[in-house]
Structure 1
Amino acid sequence: MSILSWNCHGLGTPWAFQFLKEIVLQKKPDFVFLCEILYKQLTVERLQSAIGFEGNFVVETQGHSGGVALLWRYKDEVALSSYNKNHIDVTVNSKDGEKFRLTGVYGEPDRRKRQEIWELIRALAVNNSLPWCLIGDMNNVVSQSDKQGGRPYPQTLIQGFQGVLEDCNLVDMDLVGYPFTWERGAGTADWIEVRLDRAIVSVNFMHMFAEAKLINLEVSTSDHCPILLELHKANVLVPMKRFRFENAWLREPMCQKIVEEVWSNNAGKSLYEKLDDCSDILSKWGQEITESFKNRIHLCKKVIKAMKGKRDSNSVERL
């Protein structure tokens, strides 16, 4: 079981919609919480259909900003408890037998209204005994180490947020991967990075999901990276060999020629045998022509991290 959270900064854009579809296909979350959807219920319903989920709840955009949505895979697993423009609170009764509370949170961008979110969390915590997880763009940090670049984060806001965690007996989960989830001015002298997206959980939630981990997915079409909360350790399975046709091959003239030759050279064989032979030859040819896409993606990520590391060292030198 897992929970995906993302400040998508506009769900109606084609690239954001497609990106989210691919993330859900790859990571297979059971719940998706979205902030700043900037569009109406119909767009979320389109997304729900596209990713094959059965349930959704939307607090629509007010004016030209905001909007939050929660989608879940199985319709009967979720019961709505409360909502407003900054949160959606539900009780989860999973097929695996776990019962817990899940709250998607979108913190106030306006620092003058940050107190309202803190009081909301305190109010939600009253008379709550279920294991509890709050996840989303909190728009707040718990220490100066959550920010890099620009001016120091206001200490009053850090102390205010820390006070909420202490009062409600909540724990800020460690983030696996790159330590920041939001950025502005990338590659410039004014580059700022902050960890705004997080999951905070109750102690009994940590006991229920002792192996839970929060992962920064690091790639995004928004200024925020998606975060994924995995509630169970994934089983390590040896994958079966399976042929997968890559659309990129269609741009290679040789691809069509290979298919034509296999079909003509195996005229006496069944359709199944032709497909089997064709997949073997295309797999070998595809590795030589396009290499492994996973390796190329991994290399790109290494380059991005190296660039960010170089930027960090330059910041240290300036200090």
Structure 2
Amino acid sequence: MSVISWNCRGLAASATVSELHSMCKQIKPAIVFLIETRAREGTIKKLKRRLHFENVFHIEPQGLSGGLCLLWNEIYNIDIYFWCDNHIKARIDDRKGKIWTCNFIYENPCFGRRKEQWRAVTENNCNEGEPQLFIGDFNDILSQEEKIGLHLKSQSQVKEFRQFVDMNCLMDLDLKGGRFTWFSNPRNGFITREKIDRALANWEWRALYQHASLTALPAISSDHCPIVLNINQVQRREKSFKFEAFWVDHDECENVVRKGWDKGNIHGCDWKGITRKMENCKEERKKWSKKTFKHAVKEIHKLKDELKKLQDSNLTQEKQEMIQSIKENITVLWKQEEKYWGQKVRLKWLKWGDKNTTFFHATTIQRRERNRIDKLKNEDGSWMKDRKEIMKHIEEHFEALFTSNSNRNVAATLNKIQAKVTEDMNRG
């Protein structure tokens, strides 16, 4: 299920319509948002028929510039309840129980007006706490790294846009397929590039669509790249073993490690023995963790229900002790959940105690999407998209990289290295 947003810079050119038709045929988006259409109602209706969309909503251009168009199919139930020359606001129901607000944005190229629009959107944003997405052409950047050109972006403009993002509690979705979305005409032999087309989402929307990804397509007939938001769920993958930081807080953790390390008689070389011991430790910890630790969030909800029932009943001495015990267990689970997400987010500068699990969770989701390998180019230039094929190619690459084709005599080199560990030390 995909959403395309594109500043097409006019629908008069046949190349633009052909590019749009090609995109829709290949991606099959549920929603298409077009910016600067510069087209009247008749042209928009023809476009709707050619692209085979069931619904359309458009805003007429002002003179020879502007104009917005929203096309969608019945896979979504879309209720448009606010619009102006540069903003369409809609409530979207995906007919699977997920309802969210989408703001289709085209911000004014003039900074003064853009500044007023940011503040107006923030003041009128009544959807805080609900899943919310902003997508389109923002004509602004969040940092100087998002622009390459002869001149830096005004710091006041960057600050104003960042303030808008912060005030609305939004996060920038990572862009794949290229760093920039807009390219200027050559000036003094130099082309300015900026990332001004993007998608911003609040935490509630990101939690709703954890695997959503944003991709920039090549800019062909327009100086803007079309951006494609894919919110499809990816298949759940087998998890690899990881040592959880909160295990250390449990009294049994050390004994479990010792049990795994001392388990069984190991035969063969020393390296094989160490590897076997590590595998034994991993298996013991996995069994112990599954038996000892429960899903923190579910357990917290369960304990809260028990606590509520106890507090509503006659508070005997025994029940007061049970209440105190439940409160202590909830506190332990809160710390466990915080450490769990703190470890996954991999922020080395942030230690336990920040009490910001939501931030950890959101950052982890972003990092997962950034690190996910969707496709890989082979030696012959072809793309591999199948996960098993990609994994096999990576294994073969590193196996060849670390395999020697010739017998090397390293004894002469090793003999020149002074020994630091003597035989007596080894025997001791």
Q: Secondary structure at the match of 1:157?
A: helix
Q: Report 1:21-170 matches (<5 A).
A: 21-74=21-74, 77-170=77-170
The superposition leaves residues 81-115 of structure 1 with CA deviations (integer Å, 9 ceiling, x where unpaired) of 10000011101111333211111100111122121
Residue 202 (str. 1) matches residue 224 (str. 2): no
Equivalent in the alignment of 2:17? 17
Q: Give me the whole-angstrom Cα distance separating, in 1, the residues matched to 2:55 and 2:97.
A: 19
Residues 108 and 114, structure 1, Cα contact 8 Å, conserved in 2:
yes
8 Å contact kept, 1:211–1:232: yes
CA distance in 2, matches of 1:233, 1:221: 31
Structure in which a larger fraction of residues adopt strand: 1
C-alpha distance in structure 1 between counterparts of 2:233 and 2:205, whole Å: 15
* Shift in alpha-carbon separation, 1:25–1:96, aligned structure 2, 3 A: farther
Question: Shift of the alpha carbon at 1:188?
Answer: 6.0
Residue 127 of structure 1 deviates from its aligned partner by 4.3
TM-score w.r.t. structure 2 length? 0.53
How much has 1:46 moved relative to structure 2? 1.3
> For 1:3 and 1:135, how far apart are their aligned partners in 2?
9
Aligned to 2:183: 183
How far apart are residue 219 of structure 1 and its match? 3.5
Q: In 2, Cα distance between the equivalents of 1:29 and 1:71?
A: 10
Aligned to 2:161, what secondary structure does the other structure show?
A: helix
**1 CA distance for matches of 2:36 and 2:189?**
27
- For the Cα contact (< 8 Å) 2:108–2:139, is it kept in 1? yes
Structure 2 matches for 1:209-228, cutoff 5 A?
209-228=209-228
- In 1, Cα distance between the equivalents of 2:175 and 2:75? 29
What secondary structure does 1:48 align onto?
A: helix
Contact 2:30 2:75 in 1 (8 A): no
Summarize the Cα distance change of 1:49–1:145 in structure 2 as closer, same or farther, 3 Å threshold.
Answer: same
Letter paired with 1:68: L
Distance 2:185 2:16 in 1: 20
Distance in 2 separating the partners of 1:33 and 1:112: 25
- Equivalences for residues 220-259 of structure 1 within 5 A: 220-233=220-233
2:248 alignment counterpart: none
SS at match of 1:10: coil
List alignment gaps of at least 5 residues for structure 2: 237-379, 384-428
Check conservation: 2:75, 2:94, Cα contact below 8 A.
no
3-state SS of 2:58 partner: strand
Contact 1:69-1:88 at 8 Å conserved across structures: no
Task: Indicate the percent of aligned positions where both proteins have the same amino acid.
Answer: 30
Q: For the residues of structure 2 that align with 1:16 and 1:171, how far apart are their CA atoms?
A: 31
Give the conservation status (yes or no) of the 8 Å contact 1:93–1:100.
yes
Deviations 1:118-150 (A, max 9, x none): 123203422444311110000000000110012
Distance 1:113 1:43 in 2: 29
Tell me which amino acid in the other structure corresponds to 1:78.
I
- CA RMSD of superposed structures (Å): 2.1
Aligned equivalents of 1:99, 1:184: Cα separation in 2: 38
SS in 2 for 1:204: helix
Distance in 2 (alpha carbons) for counterparts of 1:21 and 1:297: 25
Does structure 2 retain, via aligned residues, the 8 Å contact 1:54–1:75? no
Q: Which residue of 1 aligns with 2:172?
A: 172
Higher relative contact order at CA 8 Å, sep ≥6: structure 1 or structure 2?
1
Q: Contact between 1:3 and 1:228, CA under 8 Å: does it hold in 2?
A: yes
TM-score (norm 1): 0.71
Deviation at 1:296, TM superposition (A): 9.5
Read off the aligned partner of 2:156 and give its amino acid letter: T
Q: Read off the aligned partner of 1:102 and give its amino acid letter.
A: C
**Which structure has the larger Rg?**
2
CA distance in 2 between partners of 1:67 and 1:120 (Å): 20
